[in-house]
Structure 1
Amino acid sequence: MDRRPEAPPARLSRFARRQEAAGVCPAGREVKAARRKALPGDRVAPESLPVRVSNPDKVFWPDEGYTKLDLVRFYDFIFPKLKPWMKDRLISLKRCPNGLAGKCFFQKEKPDSMPADTPTKRIVHENGIRNYVVGGKKETQLALANLGCIAVHVWGARAPSPRQPDWLCFDLDPDSGKFADAARAGVRVKSALDALKLVSFAKTSGKKGLHVFVPIRVGPDADEVRWFAEVLGTKLATAYPRELTMEGSIAKRKGRVYLDPFRNGFAQTVVSPFCVRRFPRAPISTPLEWSEVKPTLDPGVFNISTFEARLAKPDPWADFWKSRQDLKPAIAALQRL
């Protein structure tokens, strides 16, 4: 699970602060913004949703005025694109019941309030047994959003073979907080993967980072996949020490981009493509063409108010699952270097 620190609670909008000062309602709860942009989910009547939304008017993004209902309806709208990335995958829940204006907590066990027929997978860990939610049903995803799960944190493996991932992931985290640095690092990672004859795909993290995915054939254990990511990342950090680092300690990164390999470990997660992030503007983790991975790109332009226009363009990841590759030759090549 992602152990990185939470983003600080968002500042309330001027309108929300006025309401709170007037005693109308406490921050992060029933605060209503005066105006907000039209969203694709607005066309969905709340009563037509497969789940009942509790506290639908609770504001999750104070500056934009987006509510919990807006989040649930967006997931209803985007689910056909999201489903392939959730289907049969175990999900770790990151629940943010007050949106940006509050704290979040992680949960592995399926909540009792989820629909009775929610698919689960029993996993035995050293510290106990957990029954993880398994994605793939719209009702499951909307119920998670109703519980404050803004993003979708998925395993790299599917329920039938939880120790065998079907993708490799590099999570590029810029210490500077600038997407431009992550974009430059992404190009470095792509070049290294190209040299190993591995096809890769890029997406925004939805915040300031970049995710580089490699579709792989099921086979290697999660430990082998993580080893590959660690060793390749170490070689890249050695080759470009002023730009890249494998330092887990934030204090030691010193403005460099962290090539996080641990999203590939057993039971670790990464946010799925097409999911919403807990960040200003309600951005989406968006699949990119490699030609779009430029320092000038603002990942925040892909958000719940603009994403319908993005969907009108060809999907850069349309061939992802057709590009599954055998990782073993690349592992062998890396061992020889």
Structure 2
Amino acid sequence: MSPPGARAVRAGRRSVPISNADRVLFPDAGLTKLDLARHYARVAPAMLPHVRGRPLALHSFPGGIAGDGFFLKDAPRHFPRWIATVAVPKREGGTIRHVVARDAATLVYLAGQNVITPHAWTSRADRLEVPDRLVIDLDPTVQRFAEVRAAARAVGDLMRDAGLAPFAMTTGSRGLHVVAPLRRSARFDEVHALARALGEAAVALDPARLTTAFRRAERGERIYVDVGRNRYGQHAVAPYAVRPLPGAPVATPLRWEELDDPALGPRSWTIATIGARLDEGGDPWRGSGRHARAAGPALRRLGAGGR
């Protein structure tokens, strides 16, 4: 039974009720929970190939972005049975149940639960210990996006030299992700070693502008080359996810040549504009999984060991 006053959003074979549909989540843009749910229904065909089967960490904002948000990792008991979950072992012992991305209705339902941003694991639920993508997060300390674009191109060159196939994405926040699809042949420790080697190689090429320093005080005004997403239990913003920022920006996969565009920014697309982009050019990452490469040979090419 739908909650009183709910409005429904069609997602695949399901009609998902959205309670308090007129609740404003983005005051500056006047966007409501219904607008958010409709966004995820709209982008689901492009988004699902990149998140399906992955555990999700859910960034929820019950009062909208003007209020406090929190990360929800343990699926609440009131979630319906058709929402898939997986028991995830914690390193310190015990388990929690993560929601697993499965279909468009799941994305829409989560929006109805005030989840603005789903973050996805780099591994899938059937083999939690074996990632199938590597993520380098380029996070600027100050807004110099031309330098972030240049850093992404440099990381992409290093990936190609190692035999990997790079793909780029605006984060919808401040920076860019450079992502390489991987064969499921290496565990997190090896993939993290590969990411660290790539990050260190990028910094060695441009130490004045890039750093792998974890402490903010040690970064100065350099771009942080973050490789920490490549550890067990970590996650990265999902492609086509909305960020909890004014204007409702969307993390947007790019064509590689778009990194040369001086007009490109980290928040170039929003809920209001992403649909037209998909209608015009489709998903630039479509079929990216076909470019998966093994981590071990890439690690050896970088001179960092491996299998």
- When normalised by structure 2's length, the TM-score is 0.91
* 1:231-250 map, 5 Å: 231-250=197-216
Q: Which of the numbers 14, 19, 28 marks the counterpart of 1:54? A: 19
Q: Which of the numbers 315, 320, 323 marks the counterpart of 2:288? A: 320
1:336 CA displacement: 5.5
Q: Which of the numbers 221, 227, 242 marks the counterpart of 1:276? A: 242
1:127 CA displacement: 4.3
* 1:117-266 map, 5 Å: 117-125=82-90, 126-266=92-232
> CA 1:259–1:216 in structure 2 vs 1: closer, same or farther (change >3 Å)?
same
1:291 aligned residue = 257
Q: Which runs of 4+ in 1 moved over 4 A?
A: none
Q: Is the 2:186–2:294 contact (alpha carbons within 8 Å) kept by the matching residues of 1? A: no
The structure with the largest alpha-carbon Rg is 1
Counterpart of 2:21 in structure 1: which amino acid? P
- When normalised by structure 1's length, the TM-score is 0.83
Counterpart of 2:59 in structure 1: which amino acid? K
SS of corresponding position for 1:152: strand
Matches of 1:149 and 1:224, distance apart in 2: 32
SS of corresponding position for 1:145: helix
SS of corresponding position for 2:76: coil
Unaligned runs of 5+ in 1: 1-44
Unaligned runs of 5+ in 2: 1-5
1:303 aligned residue = 270
Matches of 2:304 and 2:18, distance apart in 1: 55
Q: Is the 2:55–2:120 contact (alpha carbons within 8 Å) kept by the matching residues of 1? A: yes
Matches of 2:44 and 2:139, distance apart in 1: 27
Mean CA deviation greater in 227-236 or 203-212? 227-236
2:68 aligned residue = 103
- Higher relative contact order (CA closer than 8 Å, sequence separation 6+): 2
Q: Is the 1:51–1:139 contact (alpha carbons within 8 Å) kept by the matching residues of 2? A: yes
Q: Is the 1:150–1:277 contact (alpha carbons within 8 Å) kept by the matching residues of 2? A: yes
Q: Is the 2:46–2:286 contact (alpha carbons within 8 Å) kept by the matching residues of 1? A: no
Q: Is the 1:165–1:220 contact (alpha carbons within 8 Å) kept by the matching residues of 2? A: yes
Mean CA deviation greater in 204-213 or 299-308? 299-308
> CA 1:196–1:48 in structure 2 vs 1: closer, same or farther (change >3 Å)?
closer
Matches of 2:225 and 2:158, distance apart in 1: 13
> CA 1:179–1:113 in structure 2 vs 1: closer, same or farther (change >3 Å)?
farther
2:300 aligned residue = 332
- Whether 1:75 and 2:36 are equivalent positions in the alignment is no
* 1:79-90 map, 5 Å: 79-90=44-55
1:180 CA displacement: 2.6
Counterpart of 1:67 in structure 2: which amino acid? T
Counterpart of 1:182 in structure 2: which amino acid? V
Counterpart of 1:328 in structure 2: which amino acid? G
Q: Is the 1:171–1:209 contact (alpha carbons within 8 Å) kept by the matching residues of 2? A: yes
SS of corresponding position for 1:300: coil
SS of corresponding position for 1:291: helix
Q: Is the 1:84–1:136 contact (alpha carbons within 8 Å) kept by the matching residues of 2? A: no
